[in-house]
Amino acid sequence: MIELQALSMRYPLERDTVTVLQAIDLSIDRGESVAVVGPSGSGKTTLLLLLAGLEQASDGVILIDGVRLSDLDVDAMADLRRDRLGIIFQSFHLIPSLSALGNVALPLEIAGKSDARQQAREMLEKVDLGHRVQHYPTQLSGGEQQRVAIARALVHSPALLIADEPTGNLDQHTGDKVGDLLFNLHTDVGATLIMATHDQEMARRCDRILQMENGSLVEQRHNAVSA
Ligand SMILES: Nc1ncnc2c1ncn2[C@@H]1O[C@H](COP(=O)(O)OP(=O)(O)O)[C@@H](O)[C@H]1O
Ligand SMILES: [Mg+2]
């Protein structure tokens, strides 16, 4: 489903350039779950930003279902993201003028679903926010905003879920619940899951663990038993 070929990312600095990803080759099958682990600064977030089409690679190719992301124009990329991708990044990008319910319902409303609000409410209940549906982002704590963003990413059952440290800001209980939601989507609808995480338990539940160091993939491990 996902194919990366010699993917590199460099950022220009004043005098030289900094290489953040170097020549990454990787294939991920449909329905696979993959954890990306590695020290802070090793390039995990950058890799996920490229996969989500939110940054442009310096070199190399990203194919999603055989389509080169670099061939898509802005509109086609937006369509792909809306129809197929669920994206959870650490900056939540919630819309400040919409309530929690409005934020989660939005992708469904754009897709023309008549029961958007009902589905959004049910998803917010699953992340323990049934009592906060009318709150606006500024009226929610950081962990609550993160859960709204997670509910929004999952509400349309995306085929590919890209998550950057999805449980990083959450307490153990809420983190476990969010982990269960991600893996349920993965097992129930066969969604492909790729996530950066420092949480060993989350990594252990994935089919495969990719270890990054200094912008390179240094190791791939297959988990013998995955959840
Ligand atoms: N826009 C940017 N300009 C320059 N350097 C960047 C930029 N974004 C990220 N980096 C650098 O890329 C490296 C990898 O960052 P990141 O992908 O966020 O790593 P991780 O998620 O593994 O902590 C870091 O050293 C960071 O400073
Ligand atoms: Mg990161």
Ligand nearest to the CA of 47: 1
Residue 223, pLDDT > 90, answer: no
pLDDT for residue 32 is more than 90: yes
Distance 156 CA to ligand 1 centre (A): 30
Per residue in 191-216, pLDDT (tens digit) is 999 999 999 999 999 999 999 999 99
The residue with tokens 């080169």 is: 68
Instruction: Determine, yes or no, domain membership for 199.
Output: yes
Instruction: Name the residue at shortest CA distance from atom 6 of ligand 1.
Output: 11
Q: Is 46 in the pocket of ligand 1 (CB under 6 A)?
A: yes
Q: Give the model's pLDDT for residue 225.
A: 60
Counting residues of the chain whose pLDDT is more than 90, the rounded percentage is 70
Range of the structural domain that residue 148 is part of: 32-56+85-222
Cβ 48 under 6 angstroms from ligand 1: no
Nearest-10 crossing angle of helices 142-154, 100-110:
20
Nearest-CA residue for ligand 1 atom 7 is: 11
pLDDT value at residue 72: 93
Does the beta carbon of 18 lie inside 6 Å of ligand 1?
yes
Is 116 a domain residue?
A: yes
Residue with CA closest to ligand 1 atom 25: 41
- 4, part of any domain: no
The confidence score (pLDDT) of residue 83 equals 87
Q: What is the mean pLDDT of residues 76-81?
A: 90
- The pTM assigned to this predicted structure is 0.91
Helices 100-110 and 116-126 cross at an angle (nearest 10°) of: 130
- Lowest-confidence pick of 24-28, 71-75, 223-227: 223-227
pLDDT over 70, % of the chain:
99
Ligand nearest to the CA of 90: 2
CB 189 less than 6 A from any atom of ligand 1: no
Confidence check: pLDDT of 226 > 60 = no
In a domain, 175, yes or no: yes
pLDDT recorded at residue 142: 85
The whole-number pLDDT of residue 195 equals 96
pLDDT tens per residue across span 144-194: 998 999 999 999 889 999 999 998 888 888 888 889 988 988 888 889 999
**C-alpha 161 to ligand 1 mean position (Å):** 21
Residue 8 falls inside a structural domain:
no
The minimum-distance atom of ligand 1 relative to the CA of 46 is 17
The stretch 67-96 carries a mean pLDDT of 89
**227 pLDDT above the threshold of 60:** no
Which pLDDT belongs to residue 189? 81
**pLDDT bracket for residue 76 (50, 70, 90):** very high
Average pLDDT for 2-12: 96
Indicate the number of domains in the chain.
1
Distance of CA 43 from the midpoint of ligand 1 (Å): 6
Residue of 220, 227, 224 whose CA lies nearest to 35: 220
Specify whether the CB–CB gap between 183 and 33 falls below 8 A: yes
Nearest alpha carbon to residue 95 among 40, 55, 149, 31: 149
Residue 16 lies in a domain: no
Best residue among 21, 24, 45, 89 to mutate for probing ligand 1's pocket (most ligand atoms within 8 Å of CB) is: 45
Does residue 159 lie in a domain region?
yes
Six-digit token string for 114: 């008549």
For residue 17, being part of any structural domain is answered with no
Give pLDDT, residue 173: 86
The ligand 1 atom at the shortest distance from the C-alpha of residue 40 is 23
CATH number for 42: 3.40.50.300
